[in-house]
Chains A and B, each alone.
Chain A
Amino acid sequence: MTRTLKELFIKNILLLFALVSVIILGLIVLFLFLEGLPVFEVVSVADFLFGLEWYPTYDPPDYGIWPLIVGSLVVTFFAALLAIPLGVLSAVYIAELAPGPVKEIFKPLVELLAGLPSVVLGFFGMAVVAPLLQNTFNLPTGLNIVNASLILAFMAVPTIASITEDALYSVPAEFKEASYALGATKAETIVNVVMPAALSGIATAVMLGMARAIGETMVVLMVAGGAAAVPESIFDPVRPMPASIAAEMGEAPVGSIHYHALFATGIVLFFMTLAFNLAADYISERFRETGSGTL
């Protein structure tokens, strides 16, 4: 085979592989829409999204997923509140401040955490966090928003920390040197030079961590409590969308309205994660402070 022919061959093989994954992804989305959209023959989009009652198996049934949307947003919000500062700050510590030996211990530990199966974390939430919450705050159940947010945060921290860490390492040393040479302290250098230069990477880290939290199923299924009602306090149980889909899909007869409603819930979830990713892209473009001196 001549060299150009070989090149052409390799290029097309790679194109083929790239196409296969794009096509499969496209088919999944198509399938999601084909199975989800029929529910809107029965309920209007507005009633589906903003309806307060989710009783898919009652007679007559109610298909309002507002409590599920709120459940997802609320646990993700509180998880973010915990996980973003924890993840970003621990990455700053590991990348910029920790002395050699401490770093050698922390770095693999964080990576190990990232590899913990979510069912293990969910189990921890049920067996340890739930009784603790229940006894401390004297609650009817320890399976609630606080518990789910804690466990989700715990899941998101390693994702956020390790991607943030990589972003921090990729900041050229020459920026730091320039800052120190101008009489900046270590803290000033981190805040004014290192973090801004790594901001787009940090934004990506945060969004990926949050996307992981909002789509996470096992944890919320196990520890969120499962109540399909709009919560009134952070100690109320909720039923985030993934939990609802996972719990009910087995019982919903294929082709039933309930079945279509669950797929439509999947569509909503899909748009929410899409929004997270678009936001991440926008933020990382908007605050880009990269580049390096030219020679």
Chain B
Amino acid sequence: MKESNHIITTENVNFYYGDFKALQDITMGFEKNRVTALIGPSGCGKSTLLRLLNRMNDLIDGTRVEGKVLFEGADIYDPRVDPVDIRRRIGMVFQKPNPFPKSIFKNVAYGPRVNGVCRKRDLDALVEKSLLQASLWNEVKDILDRSAMTLSGGQQQRLCIARALAMKPDVLLMDEPTSALDPVSTAKIEELIEELKKDYTIIIVTHNMQQAARVSDCTGFFYLGRVIEYNRTDLLFTTPEKKQTEDYITGRFG
């Protein structure tokens, strides 16, 4: 891994919810145009780390960050940085599909609209492109005015992906995006991730080890707020270096 290929790096990051230290001394780099998976038992800090990378944790009272998080070489926790700018460039997909209770079109157009795209023609094009990228266009092109709430769970999640893509982000953070979906929808989203990594850097939290093995290039294993092991996915799953990693991926604890 060449250093220069890292779009995001964290340096000795500690993270606190009040007095509780949820992340400890995290130093890792995330490669550009690759899929990085974060795995580990519940409560080990995967979501916390993910939300640290686009400053979503700022929204929770009483949180504190130590260390550096560099995005394209600049510290995103520098006081001069507006978290809104960071979130425009680092998109996020949540565990539970959370479309707005608005039409399908308005959902996808939401991000561009708040960022100043208002010409109808531009929005139309952007919505179509994003839905195509999220392989949802064929299913919804005739019902763009219908409420997003009428879609199935899998479609809603792809809509959320389209909504994030409409911002043209550099990085896409996904927090267990398929944990609430059926196997068919899950397979669709995994295919989609394969497709998207040509243009985007993806960091995905997953509970599902097969999923990590299938979709990712690198995998980090977390335990109790620390990175235990971080390596190429094929190596981590075939020849784990640490005992804890081996125990986890072979299902001996978790």
The CA-CA distance from A33 to B159 in the complex, in Å, is: 56
Instruction: Contact check, B160 vs A180: say whether CB atoms are below 8 A apart.
Output: no
- In whole angstroms, how far apart are the Cα atoms of A293 and B153 in the complex? 7
Q: With A174-B96, A192-B110 in contact, is A181–B101 under 8 Å at CB?
A: no
B87: chain A residues within 8 A (beta carbon): 180-183
Alpha-carbon distance between A237 and B92 when the two chains are bound, in angstroms? 59
Is A177 an interface residue, CB under 8 A from the partner?
Answer: yes
Contacting residues of chain B (165-204) with chain A, CB-CB under 8 angstroms: 167, 180
- Asked if A291 lies at the interface with its beta carbon under 8 angstroms from chain B, I say yes
Which residue in chain B gives the minimum CB-CB distance to A184? B114
Whether B167 pairs with A293 at a CB distance below 8 angstroms is no
Q: Considering only CB atoms and an 8 Å cut-off, how many residues of chain A contact the other chain?
A: 25
Chain A residues within 8 Å of B110, by CB:
179, 182, 184, 192
Q: List 8 A-B contacts (CB under 8 A).
A: A100-B61, A174-B96, A177-B56, A181-B92, A182-B110, A291-B101, A294-B156, A295-B180
Kindly supply a per-residue 1/0 record for chain A positions 160-173, scoring 1 wherever the CB is within 8 Å of any chain B CB and 0 otherwise: 00000000000010
Which residues in B have their C-beta under 8 angstroms from that of A249? none
Cβ-defined contact, A182 with B163, below 8 A: yes
Interface residues of B (CB under 8 A from A): 54, 56, 59, 61, 84-85, 87-88, 91-92, 94, 96-102, 110-111, 113-115, 147, 149, 152-153, 156, 160, 163-164, 167, 180
Q: Which residue on A lies nearest to B55, using beta carbons?
A: A180
Other contacts beyond A181-B164, A185-B114: 13, CB < 8 A? A100-B61, A177-B56, A177-B94, A178-B94, A181-B56, A182-B88, A183-B167, A289-B102, A292-B101, A293-B149, A293-B156, A294-B149, A295-B153
CB neighbours of A290 from chain B (8 A): 101
